[in-house]
Chain A
Amino acid sequence: MLDLLKKYFRSRWPKRAGNHVIRTLETGGEWTVAPADGTGETAATVSDAPRSPSVDPFQQMLEQGRCALLLRPQIAENLDESQVRQAQEAFDTMASRTPAGPVILQGWRRGELEALNDARTGPCRVLVDELFLDRYAVTNGQFLAFVAAGGYAQETLWNPSAWQRVNEFVDRGDLPGPRGWHSGTFAEGEADHPVVGVCWYEADAYARWAGKRLPADAEWVKAASWPVVAEDGGLVERKYPWGDTPAPQKANLWNRAKRGTLPVADLPAGASAGGAIQLIGNVWEWTSSSLQIVSERGRVRLDRPLKIIRGGAYDTYFENQITCQFQSADSSFARRHNIGFRCAISACDIGGLLSVQREPGQALGESTVSQEISV
């Protein structure tokens, strides 16, 4: 596994491979690749030393839901055919494909920005590359695997600005974990409920550990609203993932008798065209994008940086705030009772193994680039 890691790492950072260290972490017995100069650049972490000698690292990673990491070309080419097939099958059950194409992001409605007077409220058209978005939000059970693997102790997984405060990310028993947990674990019977009470940085660290990333705002909207190019070149988008009509029975929203989160696989009737479940309702979802409000005189200064969240939650009150286009935000350090996340990975990052059509000249491992065009 160590050789495999080195190979993967050298292919990803060919020019700087010599400056990196590979070390084992005491917690969880994992291999971690980190820049020797401590710059905190994205690193790879792969379990290599299983806790029990009978556990195969490959199986362990599959069980942890880290098949995206196994399917990265640099690692996958070292796996045998059956292992790749296993990883692919696991990935197929977890991820929904969103094709490349344009999406329209509606601006904030004019009435909402009355205070700004001159704010730009028009829509903008964004081109999104092909990606795989998780079918389900990350569950408590999945996040427990991250905590148990020492995710909160691995500096390389964390954004440098969050690492300074990582010891604040504790549960009610002062152990590392989501805010609502008790003594390092979640409430009984909630293993398949979405993990909440995690800030943006915790979500980001988990995604990195799983070999994925958080979806960008436009990617999330593209997956939910599933735009189709009409004959006249315009885009037809869905208001809700299931269509244009509000259907309270298809999402976990305010009007449900019992208020709280539901298991992530519930309410399949509300799935998006791509098969992602509960994009609307249950919990808000962190995206990788920052909130920016632009006026004619330039960008409006926010008091603190805010990250965009999407989708609405079980306690979102107004119907106009639970559409695919409704954008909200919160502080990147906020650990709310109703904000969770789901991960994404660009098709180009695992492309070759999933028979994804790539544009000629597009290299493996190239990150998604979205292009913003004013309409």
Chain B
Amino acid sequence: MTKWGFQPIDTYERVEYASQTSCCVCDGGNRFDAEFCRHCRAPLALTLQTDPKKSPPQLVAVVGPPRVGKTVYLGMLTDILSRQQGALQVLARGAFSVSLQQQSMSALARRQFPPGTPVDPEGWNWVHFEVSNSPRRRPEQYVMPDISGEAFLQEVERGHGAPVIRAFLSKCSAALVLVDAEALEQGDQEPDFLAMKTVSYLVEMNRHRRKGWPARPVAIVFAKSDQSELCFDDPEEYARTHTPGLWRQCKERLSRHRFFSTSVIGACAPLHIRGEVTSMPLRIEPRGVEEPFIWIAKQLTK
């Protein structure tokens, strides 16, 4: 049986409901107690943790097609940066920021790949951390979501992916575009086309010469590069020879870009089990993981 009655709203609650919480990704207004932004589905914990008026966080996108290794890369990047005692100190903000690192590292330590990122933005992991370059400077805040490859492709190819992708990319200050070097080594041209589409999409989104993507730092990262030593020796030359379309796009349309190579897995064993091929990481040997991020951090502090 339901009983009806009157419950007075406390003053502080009325105030909270009256002033809307602005999402740090899409600037849309939300109730103070909402978990996700009702406009773009980004977690509002990010907004509550950052103070956009005081020091707006640097939004950095890590994008690429499905199975290029974005989750592994982002998980390994945060783990390396939070473990090292070097010039670049990183501290995670909020428990949810550690989730991606935790999931990726636990899986890799067991010689497994972490599960793929779901298409639904509510299932994405968002990384929010503080980076201090020098003890004299105030730490910079960075927000980097683990964007689903499928959702990103839908957005790039048909323009109707998750709204958060467009909102985030239009607002973010830099991007890391991951390209599958393993597929390139096998003679597949698909990664070249996908990366060209990505660069083209970003530039068309905001073509402003000073504030748009042509002026924002973009790191083109050849992921899974362990199969090719040339890729590590000279990523620019590798791009020129293996991804000529992408290389030309970058030269013509991005004024601040650089090519990088990275790999996290030392070697994989493709196993044939019950008619299916499963890839098993045999050991973890990160190479060139920090360099793209360090370059971006330097570009953003200029």
Contact = CB atoms under 8 A, between A and B. Distances in A.
B77 to A, nearest CB: 12
Contacts of B112: 111-112, 114-115
A187 to B, nearest CB: 14
B80 to A, nearest CB: 8
A148 interface: no
B300 interface: no
B116 to A, nearest CB: 15
Interface in B204-255: 229
A329 B282 contact: yes
Interface stretch (A21-29, A229-237, A266-274, A314-322): A314-322
B229 A179 contact: yes
A188 interface: no
A315 B287 contact: yes
B270 A303 contact: yes
Contact of A318 (B229, B271, B284): B284
A293 B266 CA distance: 19
Given A116-B273, A337-B229, A320 B109 contact: yes
B284 A301 contact: no
A313 B285 contact: yes
A124 interface: no
B267 A302 contact: no
Residue from A304, A316, A328 with most neighbouring chain B CB atoms (10 Å): A328
B269 A302 contact: yes
B95 interface: no
Given A301-B272, A302-B271, A306-B269, A328 B283 contact: yes
Contact of B110 (A112, A334, A338): A112
B109 A318 contact: yes
Contacts of B270: 302-304
Given A112-B110, A179-B229, A303-B277, A316 B284 contact: yes
B52 to A, nearest CB: 35
B267 A293 contact: no
B39 interface: no
Given A301-B272, A318-B284, A328 B267 contact: yes
A35 to B, nearest CB: 35
Nearest to B76: A317
Nearest to B83: A255
Given A112-B112, A318-B109, A337-B229, A301 B286 contact: no
A112 to B, nearest CB: 4
B102 to A, nearest CB: 14
Contacts of A116: 271, 273
B277 A115 contact: no
A247 interface: no
- Interface size class of chain A, counting residues whose CB lies under 8 Å from the partner chain: 20 to 34
Contacts of A304: 270
B278 interface: yes
Dominant SS among interface residues on chain B: strand
Contacts of A228: none
A300 interface: yes
- Interface size class of chain B, counting residues whose CB lies under 8 Å from the partner chain: 20 to 34
Contacts of B269: 291, 293, 302-303, 306, 329
Interface string A316-354: 111011000000111100101110000000000000000
Interface in A175-202: 179
A313 B266 CA distance: 11
Interface string A83-118: 000000000000000000000000011011011100
Given A300-B272, A301-B272, A109 B284 contact: no
Contacts of A179: 229
A329 B285 CA distance: 13
A300 B279 CA distance: 12
Contacts of B110: 109, 111-112, 114
B285 A300 contact: no
A338 B280 CA distance: 20
B111 interface: yes
A301 B282 CA distance: 15
Contacts of B42: none
B282 A330 contact: yes
A317 B284 contact: yes
A300 B271 contact: yes
Contacts of A330: 266-267, 282
B46 interface: no
B6 to A, nearest CB: 55
B271 A317 contact: no
A312 B282 CA distance: 11
Contacts of A320: 109
Contacts of B266: 316, 328, 330, 336, 338
B267 A317 contact: no
Contacts of A331: 267
Contacts of B229: 179, 337
A315 B285 CA distance: 6
Given A112-B110, A112-B111, A112-B112, A315 B286 contact: yes
A329 B111 CA distance: 13
B84 to A, nearest CB: 9
A317 B273 contact: no
Contacts of A112: 110-112, 280
17 contacts: A109-B110, A111-B112, A115-B271, A115-B278, A115-B280, A179-B229, A300-B273, A302-B270, A302-B271, A303-B272, A304-B270, A306-B269, A315-B285, A315-B286, A316-B283, A321-B284, A337-B229
Interface of A: 108-109, 111-112, 114-116, 179, 291, 293, 295, 300-304, 306, 312-313, 315-318, 320-321, 328-331, 334, 336-338
Given A293-B271, A316-B285, 4 more contacts: A109-B110, A116-B271, A304-B270, A330-B266
The 5 closest A-B pairs by CB, nearest first: A303-B270, A301-B272, A328-B283, A112-B111, A111-B110
